């Protein structure tokens, strides 16, 4: 059981939010920022799994110093012919195959002074983040722990940061870690509007995801249930608005 958090939060809502609302929010006003001139410290070790919930303070969100602004991901494409007419009370079934997210070349960065111990101790600015699903917590509220780093996705973006040595970017991406250990950030169930997990690619190599309701995903991680064709504890693309993780989409990495 995780330590209780210092701030009070409302109990998780029992009702599931409609898909269209989730898609509209995810595709709307959020922005992410690009930094390309910093000299980061690299780390490629897969983080150790933990189920400790981070205590997040009510501190003021870190200031935005970016110059370039872009929109978040486009609306989600659903591969299903069983949904019928789209209505506000209609929800996807678990394991419905959906379009895999496309990570940005450089996800939003983490500043060294944001990390205290093994936790990110600020409310992260709006943007797209790269996080490894470490575990879950269940105390006053339920949620997920993500180890959040910055990704440089794709061979060109990776070599732009780490160079073009033979042992660099062998898997076509690299990450920047600003602390010596985990950089944990919480995603609360009552904030999450959309979650998906990656499925192993099809025979032609096409990436794909499957929608899984946030509460169901929490249950899978909490019980240690194994899912065929989908390693649940892996990398996710996180959409953060107002310091809250509102979407977590599974990412396939070679």
pLDDT in tens, 84-130: 444 434 468 999 999 999 999 999 999 999 999 999 999 999 999 99
CA–CA gap between residue 75 and residue 127 (Å, rounded)? 16
Evaluate if residue 215 carries a pLDDT over 60: yes
Distant-in-sequence, close-in-space partners of 49: CB < 8 Å, separation ≥ 6: 134, 135, 233
Mean pLDDT in residue range 35-49: 43
pLDDT of residue 109: 98
pTM above 0.75, yes or no: no
Evaluate if residue 70 carries a pLDDT over 70: no
CA–CA gap between residue 51 and residue 221 (Å, rounded)? 10
Q: Tens digits of per-residue pLDDT, 155-189? A: 999 999 999 887 889 889 999 999 999 999 999 99
Report how far apart, in Å, the C-alpha atoms of 28 and of each of 17, 47, 96, 167 are: 16, 32, 23, 39
Average pLDDT along the chain: 77
Evaluate if residue 69 carries a pLDDT over 50: no
Q: Which residues of 112-124 are buried (b: 16+ CB within 10 A; e: fewer)?
A: eebbeebbbbbbb
Residue 93: CB atoms within 10 Å: 11
């Amino acid at each position: 059981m995780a330590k209780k958090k210092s701030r009070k939060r409302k109990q998780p809502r029992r009702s599931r939010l409609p898909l269209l609302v989730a898609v509209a929010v995810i595709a709307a006003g959020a922005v992410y920022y690009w930094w390309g001139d910093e000299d980061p410290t690299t780390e490629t070790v897969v983080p150790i799994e933990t189920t400790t919930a981070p205590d997040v303070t009510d501190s003021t969100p870190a200031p935005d110093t970016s110059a370039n602004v872009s929109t978040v991901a486009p609306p989600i494409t659903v591969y299903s012919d069983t949904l019928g007419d789209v209505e506000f009370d209609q929800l996807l079934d678990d394991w419905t195959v959906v379009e895999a997210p496309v990570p940005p070349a450089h996800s939003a960065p983490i500043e060294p002074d944001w990390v205290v111990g093994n936790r990110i101790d600020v409310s992260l600015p709006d943007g797209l983040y790269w996080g490894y699903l470490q575990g879950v917590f269940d105390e006053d509220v339920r949620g997920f722990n993500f180890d959040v780093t910055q990704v440089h996705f794709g061979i060109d973006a990776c070599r732009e940061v780490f160079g073009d040595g033979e042992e660099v970017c062998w898997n076509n991406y690299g990450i920047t870690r600003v602390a010596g250990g985990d950089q944990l950030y919480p995603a609360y169930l009552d904030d999450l509007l959309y979650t998906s997990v990656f499925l192993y690619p099809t025979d032609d190599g096409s990436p794909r995801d499957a929608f899984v309701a946030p509460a169901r995903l929490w249950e899978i991680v909490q019980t240690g249930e194994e899912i065929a064709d989908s390693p649940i504890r892996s990398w996710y693309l996180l959409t953060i608005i107002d310091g809250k993780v509102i979407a977590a989409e599974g990412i396939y990495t070679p």
